[in-house]
Amino acid sequence: AAAAVPAAATAATPAVAAAPAPAAPGVQQFKDAAPESVEDAYNGLKTYLMLSDKSRAEASHLNDQLTRYWRGWLDANRGSMPREQMIRSAERMISFYLTQINDPSWPQIDRKLALVDQSRDSLRRVVRGMPARDRVYADVKARAATRFPSMTVARIVGEQDKELVLGSYAIPGTFTRDAWEKYIQQAFQEAANRELQSADWVLKTASKDDLTLEGSPEQIQKALVELYKNDYAKEWQKFLQGVSIRELNGFDNAAQAMNRLGDPQASPINKLIETVYQETSWDNPSLLGQGLQRAQRGMMDWFKETVLRQKPAVAGSQAGGALPMGPVGREFSGVARLVVARDKDASPMRGYLAALSKLRVRLNQIKNQGDTGPGAKQLMQQTLDGSGSELADALKYVDEQMLTGMSDPQKQAIRPLLVRPLMQTFAVIVKPTETEINKVWLAQVLEPFQKTLAAKYPFAPDSRTEASNADIGQVFGPEGAIAKFFNTAIGPLVVRRGDSISARTWASMGISLAPPVVASLPGWIAPLSANGVATAAGAAEAQTRFDLQALSAPGAAEYTIEIDGQALRWRGQPQPWIHMVWPNPQGVPGSRISAITPEGRNVVLLNEPGHFGLKKMIDSAKRTRKEGGVFELSWENSGVTVTANLKIVNTPAPAAAPAGGQGFRGLKLPETVVNSVPEAGAALAGNTP
């Protein structure tokens, strides 16, 4: 990172800035860095010098700069690590590193003197050409950074909650209310009224700046304050945008986390919002006298109601109009609205904490049930429906009560912080919901299928037992167990559009339907035809036309061959070819061969009911190939042998069928219908319900 300093400093000179060269690879590790940025180059050099001389090290400056140098590399090399976990680990490591500055063994880098001299020389030329006002402003900021600690999420929420609420940005101590009131304000006043002398150890320069030559003290001070307030607002906006909630792995962890987040007295989110309010309200004059106005109005109202028996004026305080706000107060007026109570009502933030408390109670109720599946599934269903859910109610409160009237930039900064606990909670209930769905599938569909159908033909192609139409209809078809499962057990969690099905989502999260289930569902629930095969699959099984001719039957006086209600009879005379089709929807599916002996005894040589009776009849025969595509088939039983010729006339090409075109042949139902996926922290980033 240090190698980027001279490149950035050189690029900042006027001659080069006119046509900047492409940034060096090292510069890409800066956050929002630009080769022509004097501030980035100066801060980079300052960081390099601190890392080589710990007597100059400033924890607040290093915390800010090391994060900027390191973040890009971490993002590019984190692999499968969730971003929240990466931020948490990096923040912990940097915090530990900076707390050890006074340790004698604190590591220091070897300073490259030529590199430092080149960087200083380039920056001196640029700084020398800067307006005096900018030099004074930069000097005041640098001095403040050494006197006041930086503001981090961990500092605000405390030790107990720093692992729960995370922050990716540290505000330099320069931009805190403490710095403004105890140093910055007075420093700007002095700069506007007299000459300032300053020494810069980074550039090894001493300078004298007299801003009184640029205008009146009031104008100069106003300009410096305006610069400061604009930067102040930007810093706190970055801070809010970097706040996140730790990934809540598992239902137990989520319940524990919500116990902290929903605690009205110690909620870290409340601490965070309160701190932002305290740090930004100094630029909102309308808030300064609000407490006094409320007290005065309360006393006057009491006097009018009690003594004079009059109703107090409703809007008496509005006549004076609102006081103008500065840049900081204007940008964070939305935060002030969340914290400040509205007349007799509690503040919106209190209402939000009450909503989180209700969610906390709901999670603890589900947790105490032992099996979290049914409760989690019910909460997800209610959330997707938008009624009866503490999650949905909390989101509605945020959007309709807390954010109403805010500008879009304020909503973009504040809303993610308020909805992230809700999103993390919803992410946690997905897995137990999916587990519960798979349990119901096992009990209502898979086990009945295994008991009644899995071992029978056509589901088991080699089985001699064929599944009946009634048995198939118990599981498949529009009235079967599968259709009932998707209509009741999983119906409220999915969207059905014709034959397609997809999961309903909230903040881009929902159950994860297994792709094979989505593809096979239309065939599973399609209407069953007379032969017991789903119409969608049966359509692919086109009719086959064939001819059958009866031959001799030693030991029999006559015999009959029946195929799907079509009969061929032989009574000792030569027979012509008989045309048949398979399957024949007009007849009862199945094949049967019966004979009558000269003694009048009935002999059944074959009886295979069901859709695949013809196939079983052919498979059980002794086959002999003849010329012209003719097969001679014979069956024998109890001393009777029946012989017939079979010739295939036409087999139309079948259409493409769902489920691989196999219909029910060899079909096996999956053990699960939803695939539980790891709870994704990174996937949450940027998603909002």
What CATH number has the domain bearing residue 603?
2.60.40
Considering 406, 429, 452, which residue would you say is the last residue of a domain? Answer: 429
Query: Is the pLDDT assigned to residue 19 strictly greater than 50?
Result: no
- 476 pLDDT higher than 60: yes
Lowest-confidence pick of 257-261, 325-329, 477-481: 325-329
Q: What would the two tokens of residue 233 be?
A: 């607002």
Reported as a pLDDT band with limits 50, 70 and 90, residue 528 is confident
Q: Is residue 307 part of a domain?
A: yes
Assign 659 a pLDDT band (cuts: 50, 70, 90). Answer: very low
Q: What is the DSSP string of 115-152?
A: HHHHHHHHHHHHHHTS-HHHHHHHHHHHHHHHHS--B-
Strands 500-503 and 630-637: unpaired
Identify the pLDDT of residue 252.
Answer: 82
Measured from the Cβ of residue 159, the count of other Cβ atoms closer than 10 Å reads 7
DSSP letter assigned to residue 487:
I
Q: Does residue 548 form part of some domain?
A: yes
Question: How far is Cα 173 from Cα 186, in angstroms, rounded to an integer?
Answer: 16
In a domain, 419, yes or no: yes
- Same domain flag for 396 and 492: no
pLDDT of residue 454: 92
CA 551 to chain centre: 71
277 lies in the same domain as 397: yes
169 is a domain residue:
no
Model confidence pLDDT, tens digit, residues 106-148: 999 999 999 999 988 888 887 766 677 787 888 888 888 878 8
For 367-417, how does the pLDDT look when each residue is reduced to its tens digit (9 = 90+)? 888 899 999 999 999 999 998 999 999 999 999 999 988 888 888 889 999
Give the pLDDT score at 404: 87
- At residue 196, the pLDDT reads 63
Confidence of residue 653 (pLDDT cuts 50, 70, 90): very low
Q: How confident is the model at residue 17 (pLDDT cuts 50, 70, 90)?
A: very low
Domain that residue 532 falls in: 435-538
- Which tens digits make up the pLDDT trace of 606-629? 998 887 788 889 989 999 999 888
Pick from 362, 396, 429: which residue ends a domain?
429
The set of residues, in sequence order, having a beta carbon less than 8 Å from that of 13 and lying 6+ positions away, is 122, 125, 126
- Per-residue pLDDT at 530: 38
Q: In this predicted structure, what is the pLDDT of residue 18? A: 31
Tell me, what's the pLDDT at 1? 35
pLDDT higher than 60, residue 429:
yes
Q: What is the mean pLDDT of residues 539-565?
A: 84
More confident residue, 294 or 366: 366
Residue-wise pLDDT tens digits, 330-340: 889 889 889 88
Provide the pLDDT for residue 393. 94
pLDDT at 37 over 50: yes
User: Is 400 within a domain?
Assistant: yes
Do 446 and 508 fall within a single domain?
Answer: yes
- State whether 602 and 485 are in the same domain: no
Please tell me whether residues 522 and 451 are part of one structural domain: yes
213-250 pLDDT, tens per residue?
566 778 888 888 999 999 999 999 989 988 888 888 78
357 lies in the same domain as 497: no
- Domain ends where: 429, 453, 482? 429
Are 473 and 451 contained in the same domain?
yes
One domain for residues 508 and 608: no
At residue 431, the pLDDT reads: 92
pLDDT: is 13 or 596 the higher one? 596
In a domain, 174, yes or no: no
d(CA 609, CA 614): 9
Residues 596 and 490 placed together within one structural domain of the fold: no
Give the pLDDT of residue 604. Answer: 93
Which of 57-61, 206-210, 630-634 comes out lowest in average pLDDT? Answer: 206-210
How many structural domains comprise the chain?
4
Query: What is the band of 21 on the pLDDT scale with cuts at 50, 70, 90?
Result: very low
pLDDT of residue 430: 93
Mean pLDDT of 207-215: 61
Q: What is the per-residue DSSP string for 158-201?
A: -TTTTTTEEES--B-GGGSHHHIIIIIHHHHHHHHHS-EEEEET
Claim to verify: residue 609 and residue 572 sit in the same structural domain: yes
Tell me the average pLDDT across 491-499.
Answer: 87
364 and 257 assigned to the same domain = yes
The pLDDT of 303-316, averaged and rounded, is 52
| Band (317; pLDDT cuts 50, 70, 90) | very low
- Looking at the predicted structure, is the pLDDT value of residue 585 above 80? no
Instruction: Calculate the average pLDDT of the chain.
Output: 80
Q: What was the pLDDT predicted at 8? A: 36
| Domain presence at residue 664 | no
Q: What is the mean pLDDT of residues 552-558?
A: 89
Would you say residue 104 lies in a domain? yes
CA distances from 105 to 93, 98, 434, 447, 616 (A): 16, 13, 52, 66, 86
Quickly state the pLDDT bin for 536 (edges 50, 70, 90): very low
Answer yes or no: are the C-beta atoms of 525 and 477 closer than 8 Å. yes
Q: Token digits for 456?
A: 């029978």
Instruction: Report percent pLDDT > 90 for the chain.
Output: 33
Stated pTM of the model: 0.68
Partners of 441 in the beta sheet? none
CA distance 58 to 367: 47
Query: Is 260 in contact with 248 (CB distance < 8 Å)?
Result: no
Indicate if 516 and 583 belong to the same structural domain: no
Residue 287: the pLDDT is 58
